[in-house]
Structures are given as C-alpha cells and as structure tokens.
Chain A
Amino acid sequence: MAKKVALLQGNEACALGALYAGCSFFGGYPITPSTEVAEVMSKELPKTGGKFIQMEDEIAAMASILGASLTGAKVLTATSGPGISLKQELIGYACIAEIPCVIVNVMRGGPSTGMPTGPSQSDVMQAKWGTHGDHPAIALVPASCQEIFSETVRAFNLAEIYRMPVQILLDEINGHMRERIEFPEPGELEVIDRQQPTVSPADYKPFDDSQGDIPPLASFGSEYRYHVTGLNKAADGFPTAKPELVDAEERRQLRKIEANRADIEKNEEYLTDDAEFIVVAYGTISRSARYAVDVLRKEGIKAGLFRPITLWPFPEARMAELANQVKAIVVPEMNLGQMILEVERVTRRVCPVEGIGRVDGEPITPAQIVAKVKEVL
C-alpha cells in the first residue's frame, strides 16, 4: 500500500513525530517561529487522550512538562530564543533530577527579542551551556522535514533511555519550509518507552546506580514514592553535601553521555572519502553546503560535507579523523562562530579551519560557501 504523504512544515513534522513517539503532554507558550508545533499539538493531542496546556509563560511551560514527565508521560515543549533563555533554570532542574523531556528550539535572531521572523543558528552553544553547572547535553539538528519527523522520534527515545532533557534545534527556515513527507507506519521507526523499576516500592531509590549509570525512573502517582529536588542528592533522592556522593553523582551524569556516544552520535557524510576540503555544516545550512559541494565537484575541486545530526555530544572522534585527511575545513553557520570552536578544539588545528558567519536574517548561500572554499584552496 502506498504510504500516506503530505506537504508539511518542519514544525508540523516535528509535532507529528512527537505524537508518533507517544508524546502525551505538551506544555507551551507560543512564540514565532515555533508556534506551529504548539498549534498542531493543541489540535491532535486531545484526539489521542493527551493533554495540551498553554501556560502563562515559558518558565511555567517548562515546569509543566517536568511535572507531567514525572508521572510517566512523554512530554514536549517548543519555543524560540527568548523562551529558551527563560527555560534555562528548569532545564538544569531536569538535568540534575534526571527527568526525560524534549525541548524544541526553533532558532531566530537574537539576543533578546532579536529578529522574530529571521533564521539563526546562534543558540547552539546555549543548547550545551545554557543552564549553569556541569551537566550532560543532547541536541539534535535535523535538516529536512522528513528528518525532523524521524529525529523527533529519536529525541524522545534518547530522553527516555538516558533520563534527561533532549533539545531539537530547528531554525526559522526549516521550521517553516514545506516539503513532502512520507509518514512511517506504526512500528517502522523504533519507539522506546521508559524503563520501569523492578525493585519493590519499599526498596526503590530514584538515583540508585548499583545496576548501572541510568537508574529507572518510577512514575509519580504509582505505588513508588520518592523525593525530587534541585539540590545535589544521594541515591534516595534526598539532598546531600557529602563530597564523595556529590562527585560520584556529577560524574555519573556525564558518563551517561560519554559512555554511550556510539548510540547517541549520528552524522551524515557526503563525498568525504577522497575529499581534500570539507565543509562542516548542520541543519538548514548543511543544505547550502551540499549544493556548494556539488558545484565545487563539477569544477574539479574535491570537496565533501560532514554533517552532524547529533550536535551535542559533538562528534569528536570522526571530526578529528577527517581533519587528518583534508587540506582545510570550512564551517558555515548562521552565527558569528560557535560550532567552529568545537571543530577547532577537536581537530587541534591540524589543518586550517575557516568560518563563515551570518547574522543578518538571511541564510548562508551555496555561492558564499563555494567562494570561501576557493579562497582557502
């Protein structure tokens, strides 16, 4: 049977991907250019028995999804720059209390109110370092509408597996553009549900790491009762300031990512095998880069594209490997130099790394990338 198809915005695809993953709660506060995520959820969630709440602001929206997640629901919120700034404190709470949740940030120009209808990629460092304290971070940067759907499903899986917030970073262009989508059948994409505790309620400790780095999270409202706090805590969930317990806790949380990079990292490579020049680009701008690579190849220049789909954790090993093979790396991004810092760090500058930054509300064009590669030839 032919698959169901539709012409959809990236934001709409994101919402439908969330529903496919089993999301049953959305708490949000509308903001351009993310509003369509909330619009679709408000229409579709009630049909599936889920709940949609428009809260009084972005902070409350973030709080609402954490509360809902603790009851066992898969949860989503969506916002843009000013909203994601407001959510930072509670994103930290989700990190330390290890509450699964998915947060969509459709990036627009900033700082502050910035340029509501202009695209941007200037929140990519904030996705890692926006909330204070050392903490793990996962951020996904899909490029097409079809990929936004499937990566949203993966975001929910990662949030549930690693018991932590996962951010999906879109921008005004791929959030609003429309492309044909083929809807996967139920079961076609893997959907992972939250691991439940196997010990008795009396023996349950929400942060007991004796069975591994990711302790199962019991649902509030069930027979399991436990304490949740933003303070550093012991295995039983109650606050502690014992140095050895705090240290072990912090290190375990980072280990959730570091020990599982192979599962979390995801990249796409295009014509990198024999490439002498590599463009490293993500999200919408990776599409400009791919076009540029084709133009350069036609002119006989051996260019290739390395596209992180998981931006955090950054694909360190593969990036370093590629740097040893090429003459130069070009990093176009709609900010004034953020991911390029990671590229420079992990490649230890074994080859020149040149950035293209753009913050005028217009995308980086293929022609700009072609010109930059020729400049570094």
Chain B
Amino acid sequence: MSSRYELRFSGAGGQGLITAGIILAEAAAIVEGQYAVQSQSYGPEARGGASKSEVIISNDPIDYPKATNVDACLALTQEAADKYAIGIKPGGMLLIDSDFVKREPKGDFKTIKFPIISTAKNEVGREIVANVVALGAMVALTGIVSRAAGEQAVIARVPEAFIELNKKAYNTGYEKVKSLIA
C-alpha cells in the first residue's frame, strides 16, 4: 500500500478515456516496470453516459484493483465531475475541461482547468485526440510516469499514420499543464 497511487479518467462514453487509462497503465507497467492495474466501469450504452477508467500504480503488487482514495482525477463532462470528483482524497488533484465543467466540484483538492477538447480541436487539429491531450496533461500533473515513458506508450498504441498527431496531442497537453502549475 505504501506507494499506491490512484488515477481516475472520467467523462462520457466514446471520449477515449478507457484508452487513455490503458496507455498510462502500459507506460507504468510495460515501459517503466512498475505495477499497474487498469479497470473501468461504464453503462451498456456504447456512447454517452458517464464513463470512468481507473489506473492504480505502485512499486509493490496491487491487491484491490479499484480506486479507494483518488490521488488525481480527470473530468471531461459536468456529469462525470459531479459523479466522480467525490472520491478525490484530501490534498488530491482534479483536472477539468473548463468549457464543459462550469460548476466546479468543491472539496479539499486542487483544481486545474483548461479547455481540453478545444485544445485538441484547435491547437492539435483533431478533436478525436482529446483523450491523449488529457493523458499528457495528467502525466504532467502527477509525474507518476516520466514524460518519455508516457510518449513511448502512446507511440506503441496508435497506428503508424497517427503517431505524429498523437505525439503532438500528448505533448500539447503536457506543456499546457506544466505552464499552468509553474
């Protein structure tokens, strides 16, 4: 339990949050050789509905595979923020999309915000990579894996034609948060 670190990616079904969680778990477990468990819960609908993906990362084997006290949470929609920010532990962190989460959840945690989806659309060029922008942002926010390990896991996951787009998305998200928390 010593180094157990819990991350939650939440939003709507179809936003690629499970993929973001998988890539982070791969960065931790495959690239860096830490222990990681990725799990998810979602409704039976393929799109829409509140969706969450959780990643537990530790230096020791992980027993309970779900989050108990969330260290860092991402919320891309108001519904997800309302539903899933509750589990953030005192002193934890919440990253929200400032265009979509207008009513900020209140609690004993630090909130960081920027327009994640709009950044993907306007700065990276494709809305579909918003999940990878968010992943880069979460890596910058938590430092739970190195910037390079996260990028390596992104490259390993995406088809070759989309590597540059996803690298740009990852690094844009990373830089955004670095400048916000500097």
Contacts and interface: CB of A to CB of B under 8 A. Distances in A.
A325 B63 CA distance: 25
Given A5-B29, A294-B1, 11 more contacts: A6-B30, A7-B26, A7-B38, A178-B22, A178-B39, A180-B30, A288-B64, A291-B1, A363-B66, A366-B64, A367-B68
Contacts of B62: 179
Interface residues of B, number: 22
B44 interface: yes
Contacts of B25: 7, 178
Contacts of A6: 30
A291 B29 contact: no
B68 A177 contact: no
A87 interface: no
A32 B43 CA distance: 12
Given A294-B1, A367-B68, A117 B44 contact: yes
Contacts of B65: 173-174, 177, 284, 287
A287 B66 CA distance: 10
Interface in A280-307: 284, 287-288, 290-291, 294-295
A365 interface: yes
A7 B57 CA distance: 13
Given A7-B26, A7-B30, A291 B44 contact: no
Contact of B39 (A116, A117, A177): A177
Interface string B20-37: 001001100110000111
A194 interface: no
Given A179-B36, A366-B68, A367-B68, A291 B63 contact: yes
Interface in A120-165: none
Contacts of B29: 5, 7, 179-180
B152 interface: no
A333 to B, nearest CB: 15
Contacts of B66: 173, 363, 365
Nearest to A364: B64
Contact of B38 (A178, A287, A291): A178
A6 B31 CA distance: 10
Task: For the complex of A and B, list the 4 residue pairs with the smallest distance between their C-beta atoms, beginning with the closest.
Answer: A180-B29, A177-B39, A291-B64, A290-B63
B42 interface: yes
A7 B36 contact: yes
Query: Binding site of B, secondary structure by majority: helix, strand, loop or mixed?
Result: mixed
A74 interface: no
B41 interface: yes
B68 A365 contact: yes
* Most A-side CB within 10 Å, residue of B42, B62, B65, B68: B65
Interface of B: 1, 22, 25-26, 29-30, 35-44, 62-66, 68
* Most A-side CB within 10 Å, residue of B1, B36, B43, B63: B63
Interface string A53-81: 00000000000000000000000000000
Contact of A176 (B39, B44, B63): B39
Contacts of A284: 65
Interface of A: 5-7, 32, 116-117, 173-174, 176-180, 284, 287-288, 290-291, 294-295, 363, 365-367
Contacts of A290: 63-64
29 contacts: A5-B29, A5-B30, A7-B22, A7-B26, A7-B36, A116-B44, A117-B43, A117-B44, A173-B39, A173-B66, A177-B39, A178-B22, A178-B39, A179-B29, A179-B62, A180-B35, A180-B36, A284-B65, A287-B63, A288-B64, A291-B63, A291-B64, A294-B63, A295-B1, A363-B66, A365-B68, A366-B64, A366-B68, A367-B68
B167 to A, nearest CB: 20
B90 to A, nearest CB: 16
B42 to A, nearest CB: 6
A180 B57 CA distance: 12
Nearest to B23: A7
A177 B44 contact: no
B66 to A, nearest CB: 6
A116 B28 CA distance: 30
A5 B156 CA distance: 14
A288 B37 CA distance: 14
Contacts of A366: 64, 68
A288 B67 CA distance: 11
B179 to A, nearest CB: 31
A363 B54 CA distance: 14
A32 B44 contact: yes
A264 B91 CA distance: 48
Contacts of B68: 365-367
B18 to A, nearest CB: 10
A6 B68 CA distance: 25
Given A5-B30, A7-B29, A180-B30, A365 B64 contact: yes
A363 B37 CA distance: 15
Nearest to B41: A117
